[in-house]
Amino acid sequence: MKKPIFLPLLLLISFLSNAQTIIGSWEGILVAGPQQLKVVFHVKKDSTGKYYSSFDSPDQHAFGIDCDETNVKTDSLEIGIKSIHGGYRGKWDGKNNIHGIFFQSGQIFPLNLTWTAEKKVVLNRPQTPLPPFPYFSEDLEYNNKITGIHYAGTLTYPKSGSPFPAAILITGSGQQDRDETIFGHKPFAVIADFLTRKGFAVLRVDDRQTGKSTGDLTRATSMDFANDVETGLEYLLNRKEIDPKKIGLIGHSEGGLIASIIASKNKNIDFVIFLAGPGLRGLELLELQNEAYVLSMGASEKMAASAKEIVGLEMQAVTTTNDSVNQMELAWKSFLSWKKRTDPSTVALMGLSNDSVAEILIKNNLVSMNTPWFNYFIRTDPASFIKQLHCKALALNGSKDIQVLPDQNLAAIDSALKLSYAKVYSTQKITGLNHLFQHCKSCSVNEYGELEETFAPEALQIMGDWLIKNVK
């Protein structure tokens, strides 16, 4: 969703240095449940003496991801990465080792780093469009006059035939740039290129607090992101190249929820395309997602079912009461009940045999789930917005998606559309594609970066054919 939604799905983090100086590259192995991932952190210093860093996750084929904050104080290093609600803290021994912790969304994992020689990696992403383009590509900026938030994006449109039907692309969970860049892939650049060649204008925008866009994320929810997109809609309505009666939204993952929020109340929306968009309430979606993810990592069905249950009981506590003390009491009572009826070997494999450790983990998870975005998401039912749609709608999912499971979510979307005011709508499951609409083999999250394909041609064609038939 705005990048893989739940805790284990997200990328990793941080930084660090070289013998006798912290500047340089450091690597370590992050162990999070059944998953082990190699991470490499690159710490540098600019001409003013300010530190900055980036990190690689080679097992996920993700390289050169910028960190937001890098602070070095004598023998300590701190890295902040807002996009994953996490970071790294460590102590440097002055030589070749850093001992520390990686933290993300309330969870803490030990992560020790060792100095390594710098390695340059070149990713092959053959679908990424490169200039010169047979259409106009305009980098632009605009503001929300009420909130003061500044947005930056790219508008592509054909060289002749205006006014054009237009689509606004909406990213998934987490902070994303205008191309929805992930693991070196730029799916929104690929979609924009394909649709613009078909005669459509396409606007793609950096998320708030990403790229050149500003705005506060600390208390932002999907509803706030919907307001961000509506600012882009107002901008398009003032462009002479755009047909004001044929503007639509294409949302990926959580972007589908955001699109439904906007279209449920804005009659200027002519169409909506859900790309792996949620149809289930957030709590139920994340339960299923967590179970599918654990299975994809090679765990048994028994362990996957237990992981689903643990996540569910924590989220249930959060949605039952707003009081943090009561939440912990409910979650802990449910945990002890689960532990009593669960095979001890499964409990041990999940690292929950020690009650003191389990208590800390549950408390940390509850803190994460009480952030404004998470709390809103798990309580929200996308169907309540989809039922209010008046516009045309298309929902697509890959059959191998383990983040927004296709059968359950497409069924929920279809049921809601049947109760809506939409006269033209369709849902389709595309064989062999994952959450990013790539042809996959293992179809795990880790495989996203290993694949050269950014976006399956048949998924692009289905979108293009549907838009030409129903919009253009």
Q: What is the per-residue pLDDT across 98-141, written as a single tens digit (0 to 9) for each?
A: 999 888 766 778 899 998 876 666 789 999 999 999 999 999 99
What does pLDDT average to over the chain? 90
Q: Where are the domains of the chain?
A: 7-116, 136-281+380-470, 282-378
Across the range 169-176, mean pLDDT stands at 92
- pLDDT of 61 over the 50 cut: yes
Residue 389: closest CA among 418, 422, 430:
422
Q: What is the per-residue pLDDT across 439-450, written as a single tens digit (0 to 9) for each?
A: 999 998 878 988
Q: What is the per-residue pLDDT across 349-401, written as a single tens digit (0 to 9) for each?
A: 888 899 998 998 899 889 889 999 999 999 999 999 999 999 999 999 999 99
Describe the strand order of the beta sheet including 51-57 as a list of residue ranges.
62-66, 51-57, 35-45, 24-32, 107-116, 97-104, 86-92, 76-81, 69-73
- pLDDT of 15 over the 70 cut: no
- pLDDT of 11 over the 60 cut: no
Confidence of residue 14 (pLDDT cuts 50, 70, 90): very low
What is 136-281+380-470's CATH topology? Rossmann fold (3.40.50)
Q: Give residue 262's pLDDT.
A: 98
The CATH number of domain 7-116, selected from 2.40.128, 1.10.3470, 2.60.40, 2.30.30: 2.40.128
